[in-house]
Amino acid sequence: MIEDFDVGSDWHVAAPYEFLARLRREAPVFWSEHLGAYVLTRHADVRAAYGDPRRFSSRGSLTISRSLTGETKEKLGEHGSFLSSFVANVDPPDHTRLRRSVSRAFTPRAVAALEQEFRRLNEDLLDRLIPRGRADFVADIGHEPSIKLTARFIGVPEADEAFVQSHVKDWFQLFLSPQPPDRQLELADSFLTYLDYVDRLVAERAKQPRDDFTSLMTSLIGDELTHREVVELISTILLGGNDTVPNQLGTTVLRLLREGCWPVPTARIANACEECMRIDGSALGSFRYAATDVTLHGVTIPAGSLVLLSIDSAAHDESVFPDPERFVIDRPNAAEHMVFGYGIHFCVGAALGRLQLRTALEVLGRRLPGLRLAPGRTAAYRKSIVGRGLTSLPVEW
């Protein structure tokens, strides 16, 4: 009898690898009672499922709003199914159309233009922090530059950044992790306030466009996009930028410090980032629904079942990455991880994410060459089904 996933336990995010290795070996299509989903754990299977959107549908897969109570749904009204038209949550042909629109904002030139700004945001932060000699990497260093960069990219005025940040956290909790009923109502209030804000931002940019994501997407309303799609895109891009990159940076720095690889020489930074994403990825998996009965390794996944594609397990698959639990800073095929997904939903922000990770390691390594873990204090992980992130990482220099 194989144990099950357990989102509430500490090992689930921090150290699931023995468990996942056993699943890859003995139950590559695993029914998890705890998740209410089938779980694919082998690299080849995860990749094939990502690459087969006809059989593994994204429609409705992102939200777990099914755990919302009747009262919360009533409060949310038409927004109860928020995310239902978000690009990651739909199949072709809607996906093809939405993806085309979003991609216009992520051209290589637009992404490269953000590098200087991101570098400056990191330098500014360090100018303020360095005299202190110590910090919590998560609270004090990891998030601020990415949050500010994303806000500028979207077009959120500097004065509203803190407001947006606190509300984004709330809606993330409401839709993506199960909450007790009272908390749901509080979060729903916060979410509605936030949607009002995004609505107003869209209206302002419709009147007076600027050089930002909101203006670009707003200009497509009517032709390519609906108003609701634009609001959902803005909301979720804020989340993508605010959360995933800082989470990945936190686990990356922890890994490099533990392995004695700090600071990373400039020429090795790009591959070090890939190996850190592989071994401590901030995306643990993606959900899909089986669109038909799918039989794999002798198990039939009935049509309509929820399926988790385990990115985390695929990145530790010994058939692709020899000695997978070992950190190898110049592992030749480290980039074969699927931390940014794969196929038609491959992360539209991947280049921006990579740019931020590399730039942050370069600036931090140069300004804080003596960075080390604070003795006697441990890093803590937050609990989640699909994302890996630290809640605290005490460091000094």
Restricted to residues 37-66, the positions that interact with ligand HEM (CB under 6 A) are: 58
Nearer to ligand HEM (CB atom), residue 216 or residue 347:
347
With binding defined as CB under 6 A, does residue 155 bind ligand HEM?
Answer: no
Restricted to residues 88-107, the positions that interact with ligand HEM (CB under 6 A) are: 88, 99, 102
Q: How many residues bind ligand HEM (CB under 6 A)?
A: 24
Structure tokens at 24: 């890859």
User: Interface mask (CB under 6 A) for ligand HEM, residues 69-88, using x and -?
Assistant: ------------------xx
Nearer to ligand HEM (CB atom), residue 184 or residue 247:
247
Structure tokens at 125: 């932060």
Q: Choose which of 244, 251, 313, 359 interacts with ligand HEM (CB under 6 A).
A: 244
User: Interface mask (CB under 6 A) for ligand HEM, residues 312-341, using x and -?
Assistant: ---------------------------xxx
Q: Rounded to the nearest whole angstrom, what is the least distance from the CB of residue 189 to ligand HEM in the complex?
A: 26
Please tell me whether the peptide bond between 93 and the residue prior to it is cis, using omega within 30 degrees of 0: yes
With binding defined as CB under 6 A, does residue 241 bind ligand HEM?
Answer: yes
With binding defined as CB under 6 A, does residue 168 bind ligand HEM?
Answer: no
With binding defined as CB under 6 A, does residue 348 bind ligand HEM?
Answer: yes
Residue 60 — left, alpha, or beta (φ > 0 → left; ψ -120 to 50 → alpha)?
left
Interface stretch with ligand HEM, choices 160-168, 185-193, 244-252, 264-272 (CB under 6 A): 244-252
Radius of gyration of the chain from its Cα atoms, rounded to whole angstroms: 21
Query: Which residues sit opposite 31 in a β-bridge?
Result: 38
Cα–Cα distances (Å) from 25 to 4, 30, 42, 311, 319, in that order, read 15, 11, 9, 16, 11
Nearer to ligand HEM (CB atom), residue 165 or residue 244:
244
Q: Choose which of 187, 273, 347, 371 interacts with ligand HEM (CB under 6 A).
A: 347
Q: Rounded to the nearest whole angstrom, what is the least distance from the CB of residue 371 to ligand HEM in the complex?
A: 20
Nearer to ligand HEM (CB atom), residue 178 or residue 240:
240
With binding defined as CB under 6 A, does residue 349 bind ligand HEM?
Answer: yes
Q: Rounded to the nearest whole angstrom, what is the least distance from the CB of residue 1 to ligand HEM in the complex?
A: 31
CA–CA separation, 26 and 22 (whole Å): 6
Q: Rounded to the nearest whole angstrom, what is the least distance from the CB of residue 375 to ligand HEM in the complex?
A: 29
Q: Rounded to the nearest whole angstrom, what is the least distance from the CB of residue 396 to ligand HEM in the complex?
A: 26
Q: Choose which of 248, 251, 252, 310 interacts with ligand HEM (CB under 6 A).
A: 248
CA–CA separation, 222 and 212 (whole Å): 19
With binding defined as CB under 6 A, does residue 250 bind ligand HEM?
Answer: no
Nearer to ligand HEM (CB atom), residue 68 or residue 237:
237
Q: Rounded to the nearest whole angstrom, what is the least distance from the CB of residue 110 to ligand HEM in the complex?
A: 11
User: Interface mask (CB under 6 A) for ligand HEM, residues 281-310, using x and -?
Assistant: -xx--x------------------------
Residues in contact with ligand HEM by CB under 6 A are 58, 87-88, 99, 102, 150, 237, 240-241, 244-245, 248, 282-283, 286, 339-341, 345, 347-349, 352-353
